[in-house]
Structure 1
Amino acid sequence: MSSDTTPEQEPRRLAFLRSATVVAVGMAIMNVAAYGFTLIGTHTLVPEQFGAMTALLGLLLIGNVASLGLQATGARQLATHTGSGDDAAALGDAMLKAGRRAALGLTVVSLLATPLFMWMLHIDSVVSILLLAPTLGFLTMMGSQLGVLQGSQRWTELAAVYTAVGVGRLVLGGGALLLHPSLDWAMLGLALGAAVPALLGGFLLRGSRGATTGHVKEVLRETVHGTHTLLAFFAIANADVLFARALLDGRDSGYYAAGLIVAKACLFLPQFVIVLVFPSLASSPGDTLRLRRAIVAVAGLGACSVIGTLVLPNLIVAIIGGKEKYAALGPYTWLFAVSGSAYAVLQLVVYAAIAQQEKRAALLIWLGLVVLAVAAGIVLGTGIATGLNGVKVLVAMTSTCALLLSAGLAAGLHRQAST
């Protein structure tokens, strides 16, 4: 009699499934709450102020790359740590201290850049711009805390912090908008909401001590590399909306922007898989089977998303903007689901590259962005593809670029593991 699993493996699988469920629920709450905050903004703010808030959220998204870099660094270093428990505690303390230093640095830079942000974004409110600084500071501190929890595989506490991110943004950010619908109050609510997960993370990791200055500097050095790689990924994952704005007419670029709602949902849907497998990818760099299984899991969720858009295109259009405005987009929503799913696979491989300290990953992604920009300029800029055909061609090019980069990075990781 044969069986796919031994009695010893079964408890591990059940534990993994429980952990996956807990983290998936926490991240789902975070993403749904963030979407809820955006919906409150669309209904309470006038278009000019909502546009300004969206621009400031874009700046937070860029600044949050440092938080993600800290999280990846902390998770990788703890997952690969082989010393004693006291050494692991000291390493975790180094992560938290590095996070506080990075948070202070970003806060100061944001404050100094206030005049630049006001000029660049055409926002007159000094208060709204100044509130970016503490928000970025709290998010950066939280990134180091998430890294310690993820690297230590404390999944329930990790999910609690993710949940606090969403609850803080929805309750405090959305509540501020409902109390006083203005840009200043929206940013105040966001700053207070960002403090909630940072305070919770600090409480969960209280008592950490033992880090040396050398440990902290080592964490910061590795964080710079991880942040650069993630910055390259976020640049290529968000460049297509700029290409659409620059190379398509207003109506078609609007269609593209609406379709990106589907793409981003498919990108964020499998993030819990990345969070769960990242520590094991770091601790077992030669285990290409584990990476392949993770890719299959992410691609499988993407396939389900694509099927959903094919079966229910009208419902998707109604959700993203309404049938009256975006009916023409209905037959093509599945293309955006493919694009978002392709970038989800690329994101997984990018994190695998960070886990294995692959130094060339960022360079390859930047090169891919240049190629994508040139291709879009030639095809769309010269009028080879226009109208909805231009929309379809651009989304197809982004999907192809993401899949080729994924294959290239995965092949590089396989060669690295084989040497």
Structure 2
Amino acid sequence: MTSEMTPDQQPAAPKLGFLRSATVVAVGMAIMNVAAYGFTLFAVHRLIPEQFSAVIALLGLLLIGNVVPLGLQASGARRIATHVGPGRAAIADSLLQAGRRSALGLTAVALLATPLLVWLLHIDSVIAVLLLAPTLGSLTLMGSQLGVLQGSERWTELAGMYMAVGVGRFAFGAGALVIHPSLTSAMIGLAIGAVVPPLVGTVLLRGSTGGTPEQVKEALRETVHGTHALLAFFAIANADALLARALMDGEHSGYYAAGVIVAKACLFLPQFVIVIVFPSLANSPGDTLRLRRSIQAVAALGVCCVLGALLLPDLVVTVAGGKDKYPELGEFAWIFALAGSAYAVLQLVVYAAIAQQEKRAALVIWIGLATLAVAALIVLGADLATGFAAIKVLAAMTAVCALALSAALATGLHRQTADSE
């Protein structure tokens, strides 16, 4: 005689499995982010302001170039997750080959751009700028490896890779600054630290073989579309800081920059949810219930962030820049928390679009970016809102824009699913 599980009991195992996986990935990503932030704090104390500013500028370029590794990871995870039956090793191998080709291409572009970057950024150390190339190459190799691990749902190994990213950056970056505090030393440390994750990934994925040239081309083509969508997302997610810099005076743009730190923390906090659910979104593109629940999970974390900013404004300001420098920030830090949380929801929907291979997502986001820029120019450029009111208005506008784009993209995904049924 067998006993059947009740409906309340049936989802218990999957929920526990999801929580365990989410916890493992969340811890790995938390260590990565804390270590990366720790390097920044270490650098600000070891370097003179001019050199620290150069490090931040070069880190910004790495962030832009990291769109390619993220595109590789997303396309790789989708291809692995949607592959049924034997041959996963060959698919994985094709993705790793695509990663190697992309790494060579991005390294070459960075090397060719070195003279222009030295001139634009007014950096004296040519070596420091040259080191961007191998660093980006290593990150690109890592992106393809992360995609294979994520698509295969090898969460513990994926978390280990994320930890290797943070530990490599802090250990070698900070270590280089201990030996010799200079811009060149910092970039040497970052370049060496960036080699650690792909070395770990090579060991973890050494059994992947058999990828065909056609599979490699398919992986590269899909990477282009995924990278375009992510580029559009990161452009709109960082546009408000540029608009504030252009349309506000020095004091209030500085306040806005401090608020952006709060927004970015709220944006990156739920990333582990996106990492965990992405393979299942790719494997079940018609499962709108899973997407809704994922949005609810990210939104719930966002609500916690907003409440935290409302209830503990002094703590938020201390982390963002200090009560002495930004005494008024606590009054409206919650608006930045709302904006960052809104962009976290948009990021999830963008990844869902990549999982479903919705190629119109990038166009929708670019239109949203243009709309946000025009609205900001009208409201702030015409002095309809000034001072601290302008800060609040711009932050609120970014939140509304992100939520509107999320709704538009999610609706488009639902219609595409309905049309395919």
- TM-score category of the 2 structures, normalised to the smaller one: over 0.9
Q: In structure 1, how many angstroms separate the alpha carbons of the residues matched to 2:20 and 2:307? A: 27
Match of 1:74 in 2: 76
Q: In structure 1, how many angstroms separate the alpha carbons of the residues matched to 2:5 and 2:155? A: 33
1:5-404 equivalence runs, <5 A: 5-7=8-10, 9-84=11-86, 87-404=87-404
1:205-236: CA deviations, max 9, x gaps?
01321011111010000000000000000000
Match of 2:415 in 1: 415
**Cα deviation, residue 97, structure 1:** 0.5
User: Which residue type is aligned with residue 30 of structure 2?
Assistant: A
Q: In structure 2, how many angstroms separate the alpha carbons of the residues matched to 1:19 and 1:82? A: 22
User: Which residue type is aligned with residue 56 of structure 1?
Assistant: L
SS at match of 1:207: coil
SS at match of 2:243: helix
**Cα deviation, residue 178, structure 1:** 2.3
User: Which residue type is aligned with residue 316 of structure 2?
Assistant: I
Q: Do the aligned partners of 2:89 and 2:207 also contact (CA within 8 Å) in 1? A: no
- Summarize the Cα distance change of 1:254–1:3 in structure 2 as closer, same or farther, 3 Å threshold: farther
- Summarize the Cα distance change of 1:327–1:6 in structure 2 as closer, same or farther, 3 Å threshold: same
**Cα deviation, residue 2, structure 1:** 9.4
Q: In structure 2, how many angstroms separate the alpha carbons of the residues matched to 1:351 and 1:319? A: 29
SS at match of 1:326: coil
Q: In structure 1, how many angstroms separate the alpha carbons of the residues matched to 2:399 and 2:375? A: 13
TM-score by length of 1: 0.98
**Cα deviation, residue 11, structure 1:** 2.5
Q: In structure 2, how many angstroms separate the alpha carbons of the residues matched to 1:356 and 1:395? A: 30
- Summarize the Cα distance change of 1:4–1:392 in structure 2 as closer, same or farther, 3 Å threshold: farther
**Cα deviation, residue 20, structure 1:** 0.8
SS at match of 2:328: helix
**Cα deviation, residue 5, structure 1:** 3.0
User: Which residue type is aligned with residue 14 of structure 2?
Assistant: R
Q: In structure 2, how many angstroms separate the alpha carbons of the residues matched to 1:254 and 1:178? A: 30
SS at match of 2:326: helix
**Cα deviation, residue 120, structure 1:** 1.2
Q: In structure 1, how many angstroms separate the alpha carbons of the residues matched to 2:52 and 2:292? A: 42
1:170-202: CA deviations, max 9, x gaps?
111112122211100111111111111111011
- Summarize the Cα distance change of 1:97–1:309 in structure 2 as closer, same or farther, 3 Å threshold: same
User: Which residue type is aligned with residue 283 of structure 2?
Assistant: S
Q: In structure 2, how many angstroms separate the alpha carbons of the residues matched to 1:176 and 1:247? A: 39
**Cα deviation, residue 44, structure 1:** 1.0
Q: Among the aligned pairs, what percent are the same residue?
A: 70
Which sits farther off after the overlay, 57-66 or 314-323?
A: 314-323
User: Which residue type is aligned with residue 53 of structure 1?
Assistant: V
1:8-37: CA deviations, max 9, x gaps?
x33222222111110000000001111111
Q: In structure 2, how many angstroms separate the alpha carbons of the residues matched to 1:158 and 1:5? A: 31
Q: In structure 2, how many angstroms separate the alpha carbons of the residues matched to 1:156 and 1:368? A: 37
**Cα deviation, residue 328, structure 1:** 1.0
Q: Which runs of 5+ in 1 are unaligned?
A: none
CA RMSD of aligned residues (A): 1.1
Number of equivalenced pairs: 416
Q: Do the aligned partners of 2:237 and 2:343 also contact (CA within 8 Å) in 1? A: yes
- Summarize the Cα distance change of 1:325–1:4 in structure 2 as closer, same or farther, 3 Å threshold: farther
User: Which residue type is aligned with residue 195 of structure 1?
Assistant: V
1:102-140: CA deviations, max 9, x gaps?
001100110111001111111121100010000000000
- Summarize the Cα distance change of 1:193–1:365 in structure 2 as closer, same or farther, 3 Å threshold: same
Q: In structure 1, how many angstroms separate the alpha carbons of the residues matched to 2:49 and 2:379? A: 33
User: Which residue type is aligned with residue 354 of structure 1?
Assistant: I
SS at match of 2:327: helix
User: Which residue type is aligned with residue 212 of structure 2?
Assistant: T
User: Which residue type is aligned with residue 25 of structure 1?
Assistant: V
TM-score by length of 2: 0.97
1:129-159: CA deviations, max 9, x gaps?
0100000000000000000000000000000
